[in-house]
């Protein structure tokens, strides 16, 4: 008995993988049904549906990049404190001192790549008409995921706390001032007042809600940190699960009827 | 301020870029020898039959010389001759540094993609386009100003994105052309041929594994080669000029030139998202589900491509590479001069109407008047623009339903058609305002700064 066979026959191995190695047709079916990570996939699939020239693999790459961002992000969180005192210095240390400093590069470039791949995924889904019935609602979820991808990137933009960061966020968040009714420089903000006293001011409008402050400051850093590391990733993870589940339930990868 | 266009490092580095093109075209020549057949030389050159691959061999030979020149001649950058001529640079700068010309060109590219899809989406045309753009990039990199803006670490992915979007647009049209030819003969799309079921293990999971390994390697490679940017520590008093939003929002920031923040920053982005979510419920065309085609979905694909290519990607390019200090437009080879002056003297529609049209003075709300009285004066003052805007959004959909979109209106029903028509009109509102600005220096159609309602 070879070493490999000895390991595969052991109780430990068998307790982890509940089937023999997928060498024959039967076990290739069984592996898809019994493995948690693989059960997202069907057992068999139309061969033209998985051709790279058809799917461009962009949805899968986006998901992979999300995982890569999560892993590098967690590693970066060990090194980073979201306070005015430390944020910039911690990034400086990541650049110059820390062994895992390259995680910062991978995280940033992965984020740019994810924005691009999510657009390309949408581009492909549109061009193959895959949003048409019965997949309409999964397209809607996809659009929400696209928005969250941009918000993830936007909130992460602030964290290095350098000039690029705060001014990009300042420019971006200034838009919220002009929200109709809810921004203090937006049309119709005067509608919300009680006895001549304006409810919408620069300390209570949509921009203040976003920034936690009248300008991009420490409260904003904290707010964006939590959105970036906890709130949005959780929402995205949930939506990804629904998105994938619905791909299966709506009939798998789209193909000619 | 003088900066050298060429340094030893730049020349040596460009050598690698030419080397890549050389290798690419070497293999393409071999492929061409097998596939492309022969062509006849012009009679001036003797009129002989030669393989098409000869031209590619010739181009490969030129690239070989370029590569050799860059790897050997880098020690004396001052006398190195391979760089863009100044007349070419000024011509390109003039053609991109004015928003009118820039948008005319992006729309021309969009129109060419649609009109010449059969000619452009072939292997040879695609390869020529790829070679032309890499050669343009290589030669442009000999310019100092071009390197400053394209070489910014955060801008590198955008250059990559242009190539990738170009490639996938080409690929989708190539596949759509094949299917359209088949559909015209009454056959089904290619995706439906030989479409047996295969097992996901190994046919899909192995692909996924290979892609994951490749991407991981690619991310590490990218991370090692290019350091993530880190500027000076944040300072709320030192405003950079220009102040730019993150690159993927630069299309939205560009809209601020034409519309006020409440529209460009809030209403339009929300409409884009809402409109995209509404898309599957608006598109009633059942055809083209699950395969590439253009002919079966001409309208849907044209509108989507117009939104994605000129309006989204095009405006990101404009915002990233062409907008400089004071939000002025600069050519790609132009120095970002903070003191560049551009006269901006924009006029509101109400001013045109009352001052120039009727030769009267503008109606001014009386401060002693009641709130309602003042409001009436303002509405009276802005009535031309208000009527125009209301007509655009309320009257035009009905006109569209009775004329060009008769068939659509009939098949979609009232509510669905109104949503569709308003989305199309809001999308067209941006180019419309651009044209009005360029043609008449129009600032606002409706200018009510008293209530922050400017359109």
Mutate to test the interface with A, among B163, B209, B280, B307 (most CBs of A within 10 A): B280
In terms of average pLDDT, the best of B134-143, B229-238, B357-366 is: B134-143
DSSP state of B329: B
Angle between helices B123-140 and B8-35 (to 10 degrees): 170
Range with lowest mean pLDDT among A158-162, A227-231, B128-132, B335-339:
B335-339
Query: Cβ distance B127 to B28 under 8 Å?
Result: yes
Phi, psi for residue A21 in degrees, rounded to 5: -55, 145
Min Cα distance B194 → chain A (Å) is 8
Query: pLDDT class for A204, splitting at 50, 70, 90?
Result: confident
Residue of B nearest to A143 (CA): B277
Mark residue B188 as left, alpha or beta (left: phi above 0; alpha: psi -120 to 50; beta: remaining).
beta
Mark residue B242 as left, alpha or beta (left: phi above 0; alpha: psi -120 to 50; beta: remaining).
beta
Instruction: Give the domains, in start order, of chain A with CATH numbers.
Output: 1-39 (no CATH), 52-249 (1.20.810.10)
Give residue B264's pLDDT: 93
Nearest to B246 among A48, A146, A154 (CB): A154
Residue B411: C-alpha distances to residues B277, B278, B283, B303, B400 (Å): 20, 17, 10, 19, 14
Mutate to test the interface with B, among A28, A31, A54, A112 (most CBs of B within 10 A): A112
Rg (Cα) of chain A, in Å, rounded? 24
Give residue B452's pLDDT: 87
User: CA A116, CA B117: separation in Å to the nearest integer?
Assistant: 24
| Mean residue pLDDT across chain A | 92
Taking CB atoms and an 8 Å cutoff, what residues of chain B touch A35?
none
Taking CB atoms and an 8 Å cutoff, what residues of chain B touch A106?
219-220, 222-223
At CA B13, angle to CA B9 and CA B18, rounded to 5?
A: 145
List the one residue out of A250, A244, A173 whose CA is nearest residue A213.
A173
Reduced to 3 states, what is the DSSP secondary structure of residue A183?
A: coil
Give residue B231's pLDDT: 92
Residue of A nearest to B284 (CA): A132
Give residue A200's pLDDT: 86
- Cβ partners under 8 Å of residue B7, min gap 6: B77
User: CA A103, CA B135: separation in Å to the nearest integer?
Assistant: 33
User: CA B270, CA A26: separation in Å to the nearest integer?
Assistant: 50
Taking CB atoms and an 8 Å cutoff, what residues of chain B touch A119?
308
Reduced to 3 states, what is the DSSP secondary structure of residue B121?
A: coil
Residue ranges covered by each domain of chain B: 1-74, 94-189+201-228+288-337, 349-454
**B452 with A139: Cβ contact below 8 A:** no
Give residue B2's pLDDT: 64
A44 Cα distance to chain centroid: 28
Query: Cβ distance A248 to B200 under 8 Å?
Result: no
Residue of A nearest to B226 (CA): A105
Cα separation of the two ends of chain B: 41
Work out whether the CA dihedral A201, A203, A208, A211 comes out positive or negative. Answer: positive
Say yes or no to pLDDT of A44 above 60: yes
List the one residue out of B312, B260, B307 whose CA is nearest residue B433.
B260
Taking CB atoms and an 8 Å cutoff, what residues of chain A touch B286?
132-133
Taking CB atoms and an 8 Å cutoff, what residues of chain A touch B450?
none
DSSP state of B395: I
Can you list the pairs that B333-342 forms with residues at least 24 positions away whose Cβ atoms lie under 8 Å? B333/B84, B333/B89, B333/B90, B333/B92, B333/B93, B333/B140, B333/B143, B333/B145, B333/B146, B334/B93, B334/B97, B334/B145, B335/B1, B335/B145, B336/B145, B336/B148, B336/B149, B338/B241
**B290 with A255: Cβ contact below 8 A:** yes
User: CA B330, CA B316: separation in Å to the nearest integer?
Assistant: 15
pLDDT digits (tens, 9 = 90+) for B286-299: 999 999 999 999 99
Question: CB count, 10 Å around CB of B123?
Answer: 14
Burial class of residue B126 in the structure, from the number of CB atoms within 10 Å of its CB (0-12 exposed, 13-18 middle, 19+ buried):
middle
- Cβ partners under 8 Å of residue A17, min gap 6: A35
Residue A38: C-alpha distances to residues A33, A58, B202 (Å): 7, 19, 12
Taking CB atoms and an 8 Å cutoff, what residues of chain B touch A44?
197-200
Taking CB atoms and an 8 Å cutoff, what residues of chain A touch B203?
45, 47, 50
**A171 with B205: Cβ contact below 8 A:** no
Min Cα distance B88 → chain A (Å) is 31
User: CA A85, CA A101: separation in Å to the nearest integer?
Assistant: 20
| Mean residue pLDDT across chain B | 92
**A167 with B243: Cβ contact below 8 A:** yes
Query: Cβ distance A127 to B172 under 8 Å?
Result: yes
DSSP state of A176: G
Classify each residue of B127-160 as buried b or exposed e, where b means 16 or more C-beta atoms within 10 Å of its C-beta: beebbeebbeebbbbbbbbbbebbeeebbbbbee
Mutate to test the interface with A, among B289, B327, B454 (most CBs of A within 10 A): B289
Residue B344: C-alpha distances to residues B258, B341, B347, B429, B443 (Å): 12, 9, 10, 21, 10
Whether A68 and chain B come into contact, CB under 8 Å, resolves to yes
Taking CB atoms and an 8 Å cutoff, what residues of chain A touch B238?
163
Residue B111: C-alpha distances to residues A201, B97, B177, B310, B350 (Å): 47, 21, 16, 10, 35
In terms of average pLDDT, the best of A94-108, A186-200, B77-91, B302-316 is: B302-316
pLDDT digits (tens, 9 = 90+) for B192-221: 998 899 999 889 999 999 999 999 999 999
- B167-192: average pLDDT: 95
- Cβ partners under 8 Å of residue B197, min gap 6: A44, A45, A46, A47
- B426-455: average pLDDT: 91
Query: pLDDT class for A85, splitting at 50, 70, 90?
Result: very high
Query: pLDDT class for B34, splitting at 50, 70, 90?
Result: very high
Nearest to A48 among B191, B245, B286 (CB): B191
Nearest to A120 among B168, B201, B287 (CB): B168
ipTM of the complex: 0.94
In terms of average pLDDT, the best of A184-193, B51-60, B336-345 is: B51-60
Residue of A nearest to B243 (CA): A167
**A38 with B231: Cβ contact below 8 A:** no
Burial class of residue B374 in the structure, from the number of CB atoms within 10 Å of its CB (0-12 exposed, 13-18 middle, 19+ buried):
middle
pLDDT digits (tens, 9 = 90+) for B334-381: 999 888 877 678 889 988 888 888 888 888 888 888 888 888 999 999
Give residue A150's pLDDT: 97
At CA A150, angle to CA A149 and CA A152, rounded to 5?
A: 65
Say yes or no to pLDDT of B1 above 60: no
**B175 with A50: Cβ contact below 8 A:** no
- A184-209: average pLDDT: 86
**B277 with A128: Cβ contact below 8 A:** no
pLDDT digits (tens, 9 = 90+) for B234-279: 998 899 989 999 999 999 999 999 999 999 999 999 999 999 999 9
Nearest to B281 among A136, A146, A154 (CB): A136
Mutate to test the interface with A, among B266, B379, B451, B455 (most CBs of A within 10 A): B266
Nearest to B231 among A131, A162, A174 (CB): A162
Min Cα distance B171 → chain A (Å) is 8
User: CA B445, CA A77: separation in Å to the nearest integer?
Assistant: 49
CB pairs under 8 A between A and B: 270
Min Cα distance A243 → chain B (Å) is 14
């Amino acid at each position: 008995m070879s070493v490999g066979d000895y390991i595969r026959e052991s109780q430990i191995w068998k307790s982890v993988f509940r089937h023999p190695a997928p060498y024959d047709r039967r076990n290739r079916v069984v592996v898809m049904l019994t493995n948690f990570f693989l059960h997202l996939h069907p057992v068999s699939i139309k061969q033209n549906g998985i051709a790279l020239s058809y799917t461009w693999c962009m949805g899968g790459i986006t998901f992979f990049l999300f995982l890569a961002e999560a892993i590098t992000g967690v590693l970066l969180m060990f090194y980073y404190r979201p306070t005015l005192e430390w944020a910039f210095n911690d990034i400086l240390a990541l650049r110059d001192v820390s062994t895992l400093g390259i995680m910062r590069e991978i995280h940033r470039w992965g984020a740019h790549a994810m924005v691009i791949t999510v657009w390309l995924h949408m581009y492909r889904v549109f061009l193959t008409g895959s949003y048409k019935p019965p997949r309409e609602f999964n397209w809607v979820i996809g659009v929400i995921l696209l928005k969250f991808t941009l918000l993830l990137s936007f909130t992460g933009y602030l964290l290095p706390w350098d000039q690029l960061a705060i001014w990009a966020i300042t420019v971006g968040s200034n838009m919220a001032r002009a929200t109709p009714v809810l921004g203090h420089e937006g049309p119709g903000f005067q509608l919300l007042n009680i006895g001549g006293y304006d409810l919408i001011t620069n300390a209570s409008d949509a921009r203040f809600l976003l920034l936690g402050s009248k300008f991009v400051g420490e409260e904003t850093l904290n707010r964006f940190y939590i959105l970036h590391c906890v709130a949005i990733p959780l929402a995205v993870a949930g939506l990804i699960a629904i998105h994938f589940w619905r791909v299966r339930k709506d009939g798998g990868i789209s193909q000619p009827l | 301020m003088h900066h050298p266009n060429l340094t030893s490092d730049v020349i040596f580095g460009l050598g690698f870029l030419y080397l890549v093109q050389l290798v690419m075209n070497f293999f393409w020549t071999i492929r061409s020898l097998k596939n492309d057949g022969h062509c006849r030389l012009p009679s001036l050159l003797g009129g002989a039959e030669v393989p098409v691959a000869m031209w590619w061999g010739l181009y490969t030979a030129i690239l070989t010389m370029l590569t050799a020149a860059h790897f050997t001649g880098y020690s004396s950058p001052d006398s190195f001759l391979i760089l863009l001529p100044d007349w070419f640079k000024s011509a390109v700068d003039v053609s991109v540094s004015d928003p009118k010309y820039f948008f005319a060109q992006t729309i021309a590219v969009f129109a060419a993609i649609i009109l010449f899809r059969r000619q452009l989406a072939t292997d040879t045309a695609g390869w020529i386009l790829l070679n032309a753009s890499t050669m343009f990039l290589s030669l442009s990199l000999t310019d100092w100003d071009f390197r400053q803006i394209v070489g910014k670490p955060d801008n590198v992915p955008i250059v990559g994105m242009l190539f990738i979007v170009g490639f996938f647009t080409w690929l989708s049209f190539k596949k759509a052309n094949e299917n359209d030819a088949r559909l015209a003969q009454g056959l089904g799309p290619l995706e439906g041929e030989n479409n047996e079921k295969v097992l996901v293990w190994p046919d899909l999971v192995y692909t996924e594994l290979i892609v994951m390994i490749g991407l991981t390697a690619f991310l590490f490679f990218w991370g090692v080669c290019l350091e993530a940017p880190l500027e000076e520590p944040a300072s709320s008093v030192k405003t950079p000029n220009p102040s730019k939003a993150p690159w993927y929002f630069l299309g939205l920031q560009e809209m601020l030139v034409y519309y006020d923040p409440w529209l460009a920053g809030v209403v339009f982005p929300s409409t884009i998202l809402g409109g995209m979510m509404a898309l599957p419920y608006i598109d009633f065309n059942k055809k083209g589900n699950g395969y590439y085609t253009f002919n079966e979905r001409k309208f849907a694909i044209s509108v989507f491509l117009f939104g994605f290519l000129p309006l989204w990607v095009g405006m990101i390019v404009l915002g990233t590479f062409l907008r400089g200090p004071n939000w002025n437009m600069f050519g790609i080879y132009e120095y970002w001069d903070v003191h560049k002056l551009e006269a901006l003297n924009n006029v509101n529609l109400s001013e045109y109407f009352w001052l120039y049209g009727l030769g009267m003075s503008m109606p001014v709300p009386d401060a002693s008047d009641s709130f309602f009285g003042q409001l009436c004066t303002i509405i009276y003052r802005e009535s031309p623009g208000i009527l125009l805007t209301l007509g655009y959004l309320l009257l035009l959909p009905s006109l569209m339903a009775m004329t060009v979109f008769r068939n659509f209106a009939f098949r979609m029903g009232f509510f669905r058609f109104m949503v569709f028509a308003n989305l199309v009109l809001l999308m067209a509102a941006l180019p419309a305002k651009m044209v009005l600005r360029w043609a008449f220096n129009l600032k606002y159609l409706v200018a009510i700064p008293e209530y922050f309602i400017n359109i």
